[in-house]
Amino acid sequence: MLRAIVFDFDGIIADTEPLHFQAFADVLRGEGISFGEQDYFGTYLGLNDATFLRRFSDDRTLGWTDADRARIQAAKDAAYRAKVAAGLPLLPGVRDLIGRSTGKRAMAICSGARRAEIESVLCQHNLTTRVPIIVSADDVPLSKPDPAGYRRACELVGKGVAGLSPSDVLAIEDSLLGVQAAKAAGLRTLHVTVDPHHPSTRNRSACERIADWSCDGLEQITEDILNQWFHDYR
C-alpha cells in the first residue's frame, strides 16, 4: 500500500536545475573556468553543492582549499537566490499530485538542495504545510547516491505513520544518483523525465533499468496508476 511520497526537489517540484547550472557557470566564469551544460547535467546532476565543488576541483585538478570552496559557494548561493526571487513555476502535475495526496498519504522532500532554497519555492506556492518534512543537504553528511537522506526522510515520516516500511514509500526522482539513493534505502522509485531534450536524459536508460517505474511527467500519474503499482507489489 502506498502510504507516503518523498519528492526530490530540483527537477521534480520545480525546474531549478538550470538555475543551479547558470549560477555555477556565472561564478566559475569569474574564476576563469568554462563550465557547460553537458558537464553539469551529464556528470554532476544529483550532487549537493558541497560534493559538487569537491569533485569538480578534483576532476579539474584545481587544488581548491576549504576557503576557496566556501567563497565560491557563497557567490553561487547569492546568484541562485537572485534568479529564484524572480519567480519559479512548479513543474506540470506537481500541484495536482500534492493536492490529491493531502490527507491521504504523508509527503516529504529529500533533496541535495539546501533547506532555504527549498523553502523559498514552497513558500512562493503555498505548499509549506502540505509538504512539511524536508531532508536537505543541510541535514545529512553525504550526497546522493548515498541513501542517508532517504533513510532520514522515512524515519521522519514514520513518526506520524505507524508501522511504515520503506517499501510503502514512493520516491520520485529525475537523476540517476537520486534513483540509486532511493533504491538503496529500500523505497519504490519513479523516474520522471520532464523534458526529453534535457541534457540529463543521457542517463535516462540507466535510470529506467534501476527504477521501478518511469514516466515523462507527473501529469501522467493518476490515482488508479499509483494504486495499481503498489497493489502489484503485494
**With contact defined as beta carbons under 8 Å apart, do 6 and 101 qualify?**
no
**With contact defined as beta carbons under 8 Å apart, do 14 and 90 qualify?**
yes
Segment 143-155 shows an average pLDDT of 97
pLDDT at 196 over 70: no
Quick one: fold of 4-15+89-232?
Rossmann fold (3.40.50)
Q: HSE, CB side, 13 Å, CA atoms: give it for residue 104.
A: 12
Q: HSE, CB side, 13 Å, CA atoms: give it for residue 123.
A: 8
Which CATH number is 17-85 given? 1.10.150
Residue 232 is predicted with a pLDDT of 72
How far apart CA 47 and CA 112 sit, in angstroms, is 6
Band of residue 230 on the pLDDT scale cut at 50, 70, 90: confident
Lookup result for grid cell 523505497: 187
Helix (H), strand (E) counts: the chain: 10, 6
Q: Minimum mean pLDDT among 33-42, 58-67, 147-156: which range?
A: 33-42
**With contact defined as beta carbons under 8 Å apart, do 48 and 143 qualify?**
yes
Q: What is the number of other CB atoms lying within 10 angstroms of the CB of residue 59?
A: 11
pLDDT at 197 over 80: no
Mean pLDDT score across all residues of the chain: 92
Question: What does the domain layout of the chain look like in residue ranges?
Answer: 4-15+89-232, 17-85
Burial class (CB in 10 A: 0-12, 13-18, 19+), 1: exposed
